[in-house]
Every structure is written in structure tokens, then in C-alpha cells.
Amino acid sequence: MSYTSYKDYHAAELNFKELVESHFSHGDVSIIEESMCEPMKQLHDVFSSGLVKGNSMLALNIGGIIYPLFAAKCFKEIHVVELTDASVKHFNQWLNNGDEATDWSFAAKFHSKLEGNEDGWKEKEEGARKAVKGVFKYDLLDSNSTQLKAIPEVDCVLTVFLLNVICKTEEDFNNNVKSFTSPLKMGGHMVLIMALDMTCYRVGDHKFSTLTVNEKFVKKALTNTGFVIVKEVIMPTSKENDLVDYKNMVCIVAQKVKKI
């Protein structure tokens, strides 16, 4: 089906709270093992191993999801970038303990269990909140490449299930990788989790398009932007479902070795 047959990430019909609560946030989600549990295991391994470390992180994740921040406890400063007013609002509801905030206790408990301290999940949520030093909106429809100038240099860029969802073309993908990693220090790392060979996802009664990319394309986009791949894990899907149609998921850690 063509791209124009689906809505896009900026469409008014995309309810970010519904997206997160139907795909990511709690144990009743049908795909929770592959949408949250397995990615969180990979992130825990990456950050607890010392492969990726530093003081500051830039986080760009789909729909204002919170769980990637739980794994990144080594970073004292987290700068969050959202792409729409609605996703900024959704993230801030959690950040400020709002009445309409998504409940992330399932994810906090899951990651605390990975660390061997299941009872510490509340402290994990509060620690993530305290680490967030700013929430920025990046307008994909604005060609001004200086939008991220307000963010200081960071040691790590983390993006989970976002890049292919917001792009219409391969050129968009390449440009967004370059733009999103512009605040990254030389020698710093990009940690990327995304779905491969995916065409769409469903939220409520609406379907939303994604750019279909494979493993080879993603790795080439990173190397063409001055990165070397230092770790890669393919995560297979467990079963067919009616929420997403990807074939596999990938976790890639790449180090910035030159400026492009």
C-alpha cells in the first residue's frame, strides 16, 4: 500500500497516550515482550557493561516513552527531544506527575528486577525524572538545522522506535541521523533500537506509515554519518499481531569517529 494510504506521525489522529498504552507501557499489552521487555534487556546490557558511558544524554524516543530512560541511569543529565506538541505534552505529564500521565510502574519494576532490586522501582522513576534537564521540541517540518543548538554537547544519543516512523524517504532518514547526532561529542555513542522491514503500525482505528528499512540500510546510514558499529543485536519477533508488521528489531551501538 502506498504511503499516502496511511496517516503520518504528525497527524492529529495520533493519540500519543493511546499509542504508548496500547504498545509499550504495561503487562496487558499483547506485544510487551518485544516492544518493551527485550529492548530494555538490551539497553540494560549496553549501559551496565560500561560500553557506553558519560555524563549527558540526548533522548529521542517514539511518543514520549519513558522506559529507555530507566536503563540509562549512568547519565546525570538527560535532554529529551520530542517532535510534536502532543508528544511534548504527553512526556511532560509523566515528568510532572500529572493526573493524566501514563503509568510506567510495570517498566520501572521490570528494569529494577533486571538490576536485582525489584523493590527500588519508585526510586528508579524519580531518578529518571531528576535526570531530565530539559524537554525540547524539534520540528521536522522546519528545515532549519540549528534547532538543536540549545542542547549542549552530549556523550550519548539514544533513540528507540523513532527514526523510521518519522521518515518518508531514505534521504529523510539520512538527514535525521545527521541532525539528531549533531550534539554528540566526538568519540560519543549513538544507541539505536528500531523495527526492521516495517510498513505501518496501528493506534486505535487509524494506521500510520513508516519508512521500510532493512539492517543493511540502517548500518550504512550510520557509517555514512561518521560512525563505526561497535555492537549489534537482532531481536526476532515472537508472533504476528495486528498492531505492527515488522519482521525483526535491531539494537545498534555506534561510535562517532569523524565529523561529516
Q: Where are the domains of the chain?
A: 3-256
- What is the predicted pLDDT for the residue at 60? 96
The CATH number of 3-256, from 3.40.50.261, 3.30.300.30, 3.80.10.10, 3.40.50.150, is 3.40.50.150
Q: How many Cβ atoms sit within 10 Å of the Cβ of residue 16?
A: 23
Q: How far apart are CA 253 and CA 255, in angstroms?
A: 7
Q: How many CB atoms are closer than 10 A to CB 100? A: 9
b (16+ CB within 10 A) / e for 114-152: beeeeebbeebbeebeebbeebbebebeeeeeebbeebe
Cα 118 to Cα 33, 112, 129, 167, 249: the distances in Å are 18, 5, 18, 37, 27
Q: What is the pLDDT along the chain (260 residues), one digit of tens a residue?
A: 334 468 999 888 999 999 999 999 999 999 999 999 999 999 999 999 999 999 999 999 999 999 999 999 889 999 999 999 999 999 999 999 999 999 999 999 999 999 998 888 999 999 999 999 999 999 887 756 567 888 999 999 999 999 999 999 999 999 999 999 999 999 999 999 999 999 999 999 999 999 999 999 999 999 999 999 999 999 978 767 889 999 999 999 999 999 87
Confidence (pTM): 0.94
